[in-house]
Amino acid sequence: MNKKMILLFLILCIPFTALAETVKVFVPGMVCPLCLVGIQKQFKKDVENPKKDVLLDLENKIVTIHTKKKLSDAAIKQKIKNSGYEVKSIERVPTPTDPNETPSDVLQKDALPNLEKQEEAKKP
Amino acid sequence: MGVYNIRMKWYVLIHFLLLSPSIMAHPVIYKGGSVYWGTFMPQMNIQRLSHSFTPKLAIEAHSNRFQGVNDYQDYQLGINWLVKKWLNQNSQANLYTGVYAGYFDDATSNGLTYQTMLMADWESRTLYTAGSVDAYFYDDDMKFRYSYRFGVAPYKAAMGELQSWLVLKLDYFDDLNTDLMITPMLRFFYNNVLWEMGSSLDGDIFLTLMVHY
């Protein structure tokens, strides 16, 4: 009985692990909008619309990606590497509970973190 | 033979000198990316098509036409290699090399031709510098083409915006010019397209079109 309960629990968990997710990836060295073309191409299969779901904040060197399903850190790092860059950090943004929000709404609503402050905070 | 050795020493020296400052857009791009790159001047026409298999290695087919160098024309196939990439917080630098082989034809002869390239660049959102040396080996001869650029962006473009640059380009090619060719130009990026328009101080129009896909 206990095994069946655990199995049922695991099955119920599957849809939650496969949910869409927004990740913010800090990628130093990106200096022009052309950098984004390669990144959008690498994440083409992981998002609904690369032009809307993969956004670049050149000022803060942050790529924001709204994926169809959760991607591992290793997968994100590999895709950024294939774009010719290296990942410095990855931040996962909680998925909103409002079903009416579109991926673009989520991306616009989420304020980009102030990375300089984060870096300062990490210093001893 | 003596002249050949002196030229070879210069070639090596210039290779090393160009490691710190650095030319144009990147001969190797993202994995699976392809680039068409055409440069048009009255006396020089270069067309390149490349495909990057990895972010470090690309195959390239190109055609060079140098009207001033005995109507030289070639068709070559080769590889580009990203030797080193430096990524800093607000800038990046790249060092590339390439080797190519193919067929040439000019006013007096034809046959096999080889080319090597060394290119380095450094760019931030507002400054850009790049340099390259190309060596052409054909018909028991060796010719060099040197190019250097410095660019300034008048504003910082964000994603989806037109990016503009003011660029000063210096070129020297054995036999093509007796003097340095100085070309001020405008350079624009929009989405996956780059184009450049300028005119040398001698009045020669310069155009470049580059498309990434």
Residue A70, in any domain of the structure: yes
**Residue B86 and residue B93 in contact, taking contact as beta carbons nearer than 8 Å:** yes
Instruction: Summarize pLDDT for A65-118 with one digit per residue, the tens.
Output: 999 888 999 999 999 999 999 999 999 887 666 666 655 565 555 544 445 555
For chain A, positions 89-118, list CB contacts with chain B under 8 A: none
Measured between CA atoms, the residue of chain A closest to residue B191 is A34
Inform me whether the C-beta atom of residue A84 falls under 8 Å from chain B C-beta atoms: yes
Percent of chain A with pLDDT over 90: 38
Which helix (H) or strand (E) segment is B10 a member of? helix B2-17
Which helix (H) or strand (E) segment is A118 a member of? helix A115-122
| Interface-testing mutation among B30, B125, B167, with chain A (most A C-beta atoms within 10 A) | B30
CA distance linking residue B72 with residue B102, whole number of Å: 13
Q: What is the DSSP letter of A46?
A: G
Residue B5 burial (10 A CB sphere; 0-12, 13-18, 19+): exposed
For chain B (213 residues), the mean pLDDT of every run of 10, in chain order, is 51 40 66 92 90 95 88 94 94 96 93 95 93 92 91 89 93 76 92 91 91 88
- Residue A75 phi, psi dihedral angles, 5° rounding: -65, -40
B175 Cβ neighbours under 8 A, 6+ residues apart = B68, B69, B70, B143
How far from B157 is each of B146, B161, B162, CA to CA, in Å? 30, 6, 6
For residue B86, the enclosing domain spans: 2-146
Residue A96, in any domain of the structure: yes
Inform me whether the C-beta atom of residue A64 falls under 8 Å from chain B C-beta atoms: no
Measured between CA atoms, the residue of chain A closest to residue B28 is A84
Residue B75, in any domain of the structure: yes
How far from A56 is each of A34, A36, A40, B90, CA to CA, in Å? 10, 7, 10, 14
Using alpha carbons, select from B171, B142, B122 the residue that is nearest to residue B11.
B142
Higher-scoring residue by pLDDT: A9, A29: A29
Counted residue by residue, chain A has a size of: 124
Identity of the amino acid at B56: K
Residue in B33, B161, B191 closest to A38 by CB: B33
CATH number for position A66: 3.30.70.100
pLDDT at A36 exceeding the cut of 60? yes
Chain B residues within an 8 Å CB radius of A37:
30, 33, 191-192, 212
**Residue B113 and residue B103 in contact, taking contact as beta carbons nearer than 8 Å:** yes
Residue in A29, A55, A82 closest to B159 by CB: A55
For residue A107, the enclosing domain spans: 17-116
Q: What is the pLDDT of residue B7?
A: 54
Number of domains in chain B: 1
Q: What is the DSSP letter of B35?
A: E
Inform me whether the C-beta atom of residue B34 falls under 8 Å from chain A C-beta atoms: no
Residue B199 tokens, joined: 């005119």
Residue A123, in any domain of the structure: no
Measured between CA atoms, the residue of chain A closest to residue B92 is A29
- Smallest CA–CA distance, residue A49 to chain B, in Å, is 15
Number of domains in chain A: 1
Residue B211, in any domain of the structure: no
β-bridge mates for residue B96, sequence order = B82, B119
Contact A28 B87 (CB under 8 A): yes
B60 Cβ neighbours under 8 A, 6+ residues apart = B27, B48, B49, B50, B51, B77, B78, B79, B80, B98, B100
Inform me whether the C-beta atom of residue B156 falls under 8 Å from chain A C-beta atoms: yes
Residue A12, in any domain of the structure: no
Residue A11, in any domain of the structure: no
**Residue A88 and residue A82 in contact, taking contact as beta carbons nearer than 8 Å:** no
**Residue B158 and residue A58 in contact, taking contact as beta carbons nearer than 8 Å:** yes
CA distance linking residue B203 with residue B39, whole number of Å: 16
